[in-house]
Amino acid sequence: MLRQWAADAMREAAKTDIALENGGGLRTSIAAGTITAGNLYEVMPFDNTLYRVEMTGAQILAAIEHGIANKTFGMVQFSGLDIVYDEALPEGRKVVSALLSGGGRLEADATYTVATNDFLVAGGDGFWMIKAAAKAQDTFIPLRDVLMEAVKKAGLIDFKTDDRLKKTGSLSGVLPSAA
């Protein structure tokens, strides 16, 4: 839940259509209670900054596909999308549905604004498709500050996870045999 909330905070701060955050960028969770600056330093110990980029739907889909397949660095976190995937499908073809959270399909040729971080803009964790994004603009705002501002603004965080990522397909990745 913290990871989804962080992606939402990034998207809101950058005023973008979508946000993408690397799974390894958030290092721990936060217990219920008062959230301190120290908690946020533990969650996000790196000094990454918030970037605003433009990506095509095809590039965004490639990032989601890479993030689903990326077992080493953890699942990519995102905001602004509703994704359905099937682990049994081949790598690069696991996403079976990609919709914008506000409605409508993620169109391969359309351009979207995306909030992300400097690590991913540099191609970190193999996200070459984010490195290839157009109009990369560093806001020079540390991601930790984005989270601190979101905490201050909300006062009380009562985040409920949503169905932005749904897994579908056959059990255990075993496809039914042909009769």
- Amino acid 43 reads V
Q: Radius of gyration of the chain from Cα atoms?
A: 17
pLDDT band per the 50, 70, 90 thresholds, residue 129: very high
Domain boundaries of the chain, sorted by first residue: 2-167
Q: 31-63: per-residue pLDDT in tens?
A: 666 776 777 777 777 889 999 999 999 999 999
CATH fold for domain 2-167: 5'-nucleotidase;  domain 2 (3.90.780)
pTM of this prediction? 0.85
- Residue for token pair 């603009």: 137
Q: Are 130 and 123 in contact (CB under 8 A)?
A: yes
Comparing CA positions, the residue from 146, 140, 119, 138 lying closest to residue 130 is 119
At 6, is the secondary structure helix, strand, or coil? helix
Q: 162-178: per-residue pLDDT in tens?
A: 788 888 875 444 333 33
Question: How far apart are the C-alpha atoms of 160 and 42, rounded to whole Å?
Answer: 22
Strands (E) in the chain, as ranges, are 18-21, 49-56, 77-79, 81-86, 95-100, 111-117, 134-142, 165-168
